[in-house]
Structure 1
Amino acid sequence: MGRLRILISLLMLLSALPAWPQGGRNTGQQEDRDSLVRLLQADMARLVEINGKEYRKVVGDAVFLHNGTYLYCDSAYWNVTEEYIDALGSIRIVQENTLLTGDSIKYVIPENTAKFRGHLVELVDRDSNVLRTNYLDYNTKDSVAFFYRGGAMKDSDGNLIESITGRYSSPLERFDFIGQVAMFSDSLFFVCDTLYYDTKREIARFHGNTQGWYGDNTISSGAGRYERTVEKLYFRKDVHILTEDYEMWSDSLYYDRLTEYSHLLGNVQLLDTVDKAIALAGELRFWNEPRRAELYRSPALVTIDENEEGVRDSVFLSGDTLIYYTMRMCDVDSAVAAAAKERYEAALVDPMQQKKSSGSPASGASGAGPAAGAARSAGAASRLQPGPGTLPSPYYPPEDTLSVTDSIQAPDSLSVQDTLAVPDSLAVPDSLAALGLDSTSCAADSLELPPPPDTTEVTFMEAWHHVRIYKSDIQIRCDSLLFTSIDSIARLFTEPMLWYEIKSQIKADSMQFLFRNQTLDRGYLFSNAFVISEEEPGKYYHQIKSPEMIGYFENSQVSRFDALGGVTAMFYVAEDSVITTMNQKECRLMTGRLKDGQLQRILYTDNIKSDAWPVWKLTQEQSRLRDFNWTPELRPASRYDVTARGVRASRRAESVPSPNFPTFKYAEKYFEGYMSGIIREIDGRKPLIWIERQDFFVHL
């Protein structure tokens, strides 16, 4: 009876092995063969009955084969009727380059699925990425694994991703993480709703609510991508970036970590907490070292001024292209630095003081003095500036470097030796010794080290074409504007116009404004300066016309002005609040003093002519100087004439410290202790300075 039972067991085992087909095997035959479960190896196999069900019990180094997949275990119970295998002990599933291990599985044959359960289930792919969980189902036909109730994956470089559920596809070489996803990679931290990780190309794609951290920097968006091999990141959908000094918004962001280059597109805003400025644009390109920012697509710049009383006023500036960059002083082109120095020195000259000290007309009156010199240097320096869109370096080579070598007429170095008449060079140190001197020390003392390079950081600002500026009391328009901190002079080109307190209009061929101690100190009008001040709309206008003018400022108000080089002026005089007379003046020099914006007195100098006319006798032509052109319609009447872009309120207070920073609870469970040190370091950072700085921008 016992022998019969053993014989039946052997026949049942053999019946599970397919007959080897004769001739070639086609695809259908191969699939049929793979779909059958075969026991390749075991120390012992026998039939057992448990709870009324018959099982084939396999014990000792068992190996099954199904769908080209090998199942290794210590023991197994195979239910042929219900078509499943319960395997226990040292479980391994090997399929090509994918390895799965665990304590126990239930292999459901019709579903081609191995259901791993145990205190630790591990999947290792061909790239040595290790996925750990407690619950994992692996489809041997599709080569796809599903995990749930939490899992974490770590690669050979120490990068880690975790989520509640997910899957792995061996054919696609891709991990999908779904629900409460957290990622650590190359000092970057991310959380999102869903993450797809391409193991072959090492690309992570983020979907849903995405947030990232790098040092003290944070980013949030609706989706993104991280290309690890080339260190490039791309984010889209409501992108928000927060650093210690900056806060940025955009529709999309591209960032290259290797070159520290950023490219932002779509409704861009950059909030600078250090310089108290805001940049708005449709496109922003930013290089970190050396620092350079380029704004395109209706860009605008907003700066916030605050006076001693704490009253704030914003300045809005726009143009077709705005460029801002910094350089070390030692890297600035020598011609640019020399032109800036010349401009600054010329700007500090006071023509009226020169006249008083010399007792003769100021040289500026003829158009050839300091003011004119500043104009010439302004033109020379502007030719050295790059045009808009010059990328990416702000360094400018000489106009023709080859011409320098042509101008050098170096003598033949051999001819120097012919002029030497020292018969014995050894006699030289002897003569020094006779004087008690050491020739070696003398040579060393004669060497002077070159001065260290000037690494002072200087800034440049360029606004190109259709420039508009709005401040509550001053408005400006011109074609282009250039500024550098080397001379702290803003230069306006091509028909610049300025409006002051709405009723005053100022024109010239070009203008310059000197800033000292971060406040406006002087303004210069070069060539065809014309000042118009409206006294009565449509009828009476005070007018001053001269080749050049200089305005001096105190507390942001004009305290004095000088008109140079041949002045013509018209002033309307009122009696009992009624304008009755027009005074016309001509002179070589004119200077006026103002207090609280009101004209106190005017001094006329050299070749003075004066006429007075009753206003009722004046024709339209007689009441206007030549080239009079009052154009209030060109004035930017509000900040919306400069830019229609809105300004977003800071989100710094709600973002720091972030409540969403990952805790990596699954990573800590399955890779115990790995993330503890990193988390402790992050938790120890308290960037409270961020919260303090945001207060300035709350009420923009």
Structure 2
Amino acid sequence: MKQSHLNITLFILLFTSSLLAQESKVIDVVSDRLEIDEKKYPGATLLSKIDNQVYLKHKGIEIWCDQAVHYGQDRFVKAYGNVQMKQGDTLTMNSKYAEYNGNTEFAYASTNVVLETEQNTLKTDTLFFDRLRQQAYYRSGGTVIDSSMTLTSRIGRYYMDRKFSTFTKEVVVVNNENTLNSDRLDYFNETGKVYLYGPSTVVSPESILYCERGFYDTKTDIGYAIKNARIDYDNRRVLGDSIYVDNNINFASATNNIRVIDTANHSLIKGHYAEVFKNKDSVFITKRALAISKQENDSIFIHSDTIMVTGKPEKRLLRGFYDVRIYKTDMSGKCDSLSMAQITGFTKMIGKPILWSAKNQMTGDTIQLISDQKTNKLDSLKVYNNSFLVQQDTLKEGFNQVKGAILYGLFKNNKLDIVDIDKNTETIYFQRDDKQELIGINKVACSNIRILFEEQEMTDIYYYDNVEGTLYMESELPPNARELQGLNWRGDELISSKKDLFRDEAPFQLTKIKGLPLPEEEKDFFDEETLKRINEQRSEHSRFKDVKLKEASDD
């Protein structure tokens, strides 16, 4: 017989011996059909759909289903077929099966579970919902979809009142063209902001960001990473104490203890602040900036206030600005600005440039070094305008000096081998015998000079065209006449080690990094208090008897 809109209160009056004391705990029911089968469903009422789904309501939660078994004494319902459970406008849960306990206000759903909130949709196989704490939980894998991303994880926990979720174990977020992988992340439903904990990566078409604590905005594609943070752009890897990244423009900035590794050219730049513009193939680094690149079996170190590297891997251009200092084992130098072009092998130094090669000091208005592109060895150098080559006398009684308009130097095995000086050349040379006894001081002016070196020492000097010179005895030449006009010996500035690159610089104070808070300590979903509440009032008809609520992995 069809029965419509039958209230469970009437049923209890007719079919049970006692009425529940608190009406607020009564589960209200509307059903097309009501059946009692004590043999099959002892102590229960079977509610079934004919035209309309079975409807149940309890303290603000509504349930629709094709069939339900209601245990009035236990205040417990098992729902089957097209089950929908709704809590106001905030939550709707669909499944093939669900059960609800009015005493504990705890729900359990299984098979094709879909949970819809104001912000997103969750699909999973099994879901637990604690109404008292307003928390939902899955541990058998789930997929969350909202307007900005799709997330999958093995374990998930919703905090309904806080509009916040935590996902752990094999978490993957797909956002536009980006994919985020993490061991654990916290997700704020309304803002789309994600906080990452443990090893995590954000993979975009242009980069891979890694960190062990970080932040990522799934709506703006902007992130912030700390703790072992790094980002890879094609042939560049950037590491730092903190990294900010904007995937919309392929931009990253890094702060403190930075390393920018160029895998294509086997070079490294260090510093404490860097900016990388991937689309422009440029790196800007400052605050104790230091560039290191391989040159044959040696390394060249370049330190300056600011270093910029631009261009594709085969056309890299390195530029240093403000107090540039250079060091390699057989050469060092200083200048105000420097540019080093990979495609040509030219290094240009301007702004009071100076170069030291062993005992030789070279200065001029501009110095240009040329490397052999095939062998990567230093090939030659040019010094333009006001060129000076100075070498302290063996016994440090004066300076061997060569002055001219342009200086050309050739290197052999990275050591100065031949120097030619053109136009209006002048020399002062302390000439000694085999016993290093001073023979005299030779002053010569001519058009061109060639100097030969052995083990970086001047050994032979050849004078060409319009040669005028005198060999003076030491007593014949007063000290003030032993220096060519414009001589500036800068031996006290000599950079003889990597440590000297930072000489006279104050200790650097690192920027204070704004950290990301650690997640609040949350009780387990099935904590002691919740387990006690569920177990003390669990219906013997609940499937919970077959479900292990507390797993070892949840501890």
- What TM-score, normalized by structure 2, do the two folds share? 0.77
Structure 1 residues 522-581: Cα deviation after superposition (integer angstroms, max 9, x where no partner): 433334332221343643432223344332345534343233343332222232332322
Correspondence for 2:366 among 501, 505, 510? 510
- Structure 1 contact 232–256 (Cα < 8 Å) conserved: yes
SS at match of 1:110: coil
Structure 1 residues 610-640: Cα deviation after superposition (integer angstroms, max 9, x where no partner): 2324447766545444454433331222123
Residue type at the aligned position of 1:99: T
1:307-386 equivalences under 5 Å are 312-326=297-311
Residue type at the aligned position of 1:581: I
Match of 1:181 in 2: 171
Deviation at 1:48, TM superposition (A): 6.5
- Structure 1 contact 130–155 (Cα < 8 Å) conserved: yes
Structure 1 residues 293-333: Cα deviation after superposition (integer angstroms, max 9, x where no partner): 21111111111012xxxxx1100101111122239xxxxxx
> In the aligned structure 1, how far is the partner of 2:259 from the partner of 2:502?
13
Match of 2:191 in 1: 201
Residue type at the aligned position of 1:11: L
Deviation at 1:42, TM superposition (A): 1.2
1:6-21 equivalences under 5 Å are 9=11, 11=13
Match of 1:574 in 2: 432
- Structure 1 contact 585–608 (Cα < 8 Å) conserved: no
Residue type at the aligned position of 1:291: D
Structure 1 residues 30-76: Cα deviation after superposition (integer angstroms, max 9, x where no partner): xx98x544424112446665799744543433211223221123333
| CA pair 595-632 structure 1, distance change in 2 beyond 3 A | closer
Correspondence for 1:534 among 392, 398, 416? 392
Correspondence for 1:490 among 321, 327, 347? 347
Correspondence for 1:71 among 43, 60, 63? 63
SS at match of 1:297: strand
Match of 1:604 in 2: 463
- Structure 1 contact 564–588 (Cα < 8 Å) conserved: no
Deviation at 1:473, TM superposition (A): 0.7
Residue type at the aligned position of 1:302: I
Alignment partner of 1:146 is 2:137: yes
Match of 1:634 in 2: 493
- Structure 1 contact 281–300 (Cα < 8 Å) conserved: yes
| Structure 1, unpaired ranges of 5+ | 1-5, 19-31, 307-311, 328-455, 645-700
Match of 1:376 in 2: none
SS at match of 1:577: coil
Deviation at 1:11, TM superposition (A): 2.2
- Structure 2 contact 330–415 (Cα < 8 Å) conserved: no
Deviation at 1:465, TM superposition (A): 0.4
Alignment partner of 1:105 is 2:98: yes
> In the aligned structure 1, how far is the partner of 2:81 from the partner of 2:450?
101
> In the aligned structure 1, how far is the partner of 2:182 from the partner of 2:343?
46
Match of 2:518 in 1: none
SS at match of 1:264: strand
SS at match of 2:191: coil
- Structure 2 contact 277–283 (Cα < 8 Å) conserved: yes
- Give the fraction of aligned pairs with identical amino acids, expressed as a percent: 19
1:453-602 equivalences under 5 Å are 460-483=317-340, 489-501=346-358, 503-515=359-371, 517=373, 520-536=378-394, 538-594=396-452, 597=456, 599=458, 601-602=460-461
SS at match of 1:299: strand
> In the aligned structure 1, how far is the partner of 2:26 from the partner of 2:154?
32
> In the aligned structure 1, how far is the partner of 2:346 from the partner of 2:192?
50
> In the aligned structure 2, how far is the partner of 1:536 from the partner of 1:457?
44
- Structure 2 contact 26–75 (Cα < 8 Å) conserved: no
- Structure 2 contact 106–131 (Cα < 8 Å) conserved: yes
SS at match of 1:582: strand
| CA pair 88-485 structure 1, distance change in 2 beyond 3 A | closer
Alignment partner of 1:131 is 2:120: no
Deviation at 1:223, TM superposition (A): 1.8
More strand by share: 2
SS at match of 2:492: helix
- Structure 1 contact 544–568 (Cα < 8 Å) conserved: yes
> In the aligned structure 1, how far is the partner of 2:206 from the partner of 2:220?
22
| CA pair 277-52 structure 1, distance change in 2 beyond 3 A | closer
Residue type at the aligned position of 1:317: I
> In the aligned structure 1, how far is the partner of 2:43 from the partner of 2:84?
25
- Structure 1 contact 281–298 (Cα < 8 Å) conserved: yes
Correspondence for 1:263 among 246, 250, 253? 253
Structure 1 residues 321-376: Cα deviation after superposition (integer angstroms, max 9, x where no partner): 1122239xxxxxxxxxxxxxxxxxxxxxxxxxxxxxxxxxxxxxxxxxxxxxxxxx
Structure 1 residues 464-495: Cα deviation after superposition (integer angstroms, max 9, x where no partner): 10111111111011111234578764332222
Residue type at the aligned position of 1:105: A
Residue type at the aligned position of 2:298: D
| CA pair 183-164 structure 1, distance change in 2 beyond 3 A | same
Structure 1 residues 199-247: Cα deviation after superposition (integer angstroms, max 9, x where no partner): 4333332212213444695442112233233332332211133455233
| CA pair 82-579 structure 1, distance change in 2 beyond 3 A | farther
Larger relative contact order, structure 1 or 2 (CA cutoff 8 Å, min sep 6): 1
> In the aligned structure 2, how far is the partner of 1:323 from the partner of 1:79?
75
- Structure 2 contact 150–175 (Cα < 8 Å) conserved: yes
Deviation at 1:251, TM superposition (A): 1.6
Match of 2:201 in 1: 211
| CA pair 545-50 structure 1, distance change in 2 beyond 3 A | farther
1:270-285 equivalences under 5 Å are 270-285=260-275
**CA RMSD between the two structures:** 3.6
Structure 1 residues 91-113: Cα deviation after superposition (integer angstroms, max 9, x where no partner): 22122253212233332223322
SS at match of 1:294: strand
Residue type at the aligned position of 1:262: A
- Structure 2 contact 432–440 (Cα < 8 Å) conserved: no
> In the aligned structure 2, how far is the partner of 1:254 from the partner of 1:173?
26
| CA pair 643-242 structure 1, distance change in 2 beyond 3 A | farther
Residue type at the aligned position of 1:541: F
| CA pair 63-112 structure 1, distance change in 2 beyond 3 A | same
More helix by share: 1
Residue type at the aligned position of 1:145: A
| CA pair 595-103 structure 1, distance change in 2 beyond 3 A | same
> In the aligned structure 1, how far is the partner of 2:152 from the partner of 2:319?
47
- Structure 1 contact 532–541 (Cα < 8 Å) conserved: yes
- Structure 1 contact 17–38 (Cα < 8 Å) conserved: no
Deviation at 1:607, TM superposition (A): 4.2
> In the aligned structure 1, how far is the partner of 2:9 from the partner of 2:199?
64
Moved more, 43-52 or 595-604: 43-52
| CA pair 127-121 structure 1, distance change in 2 beyond 3 A | same
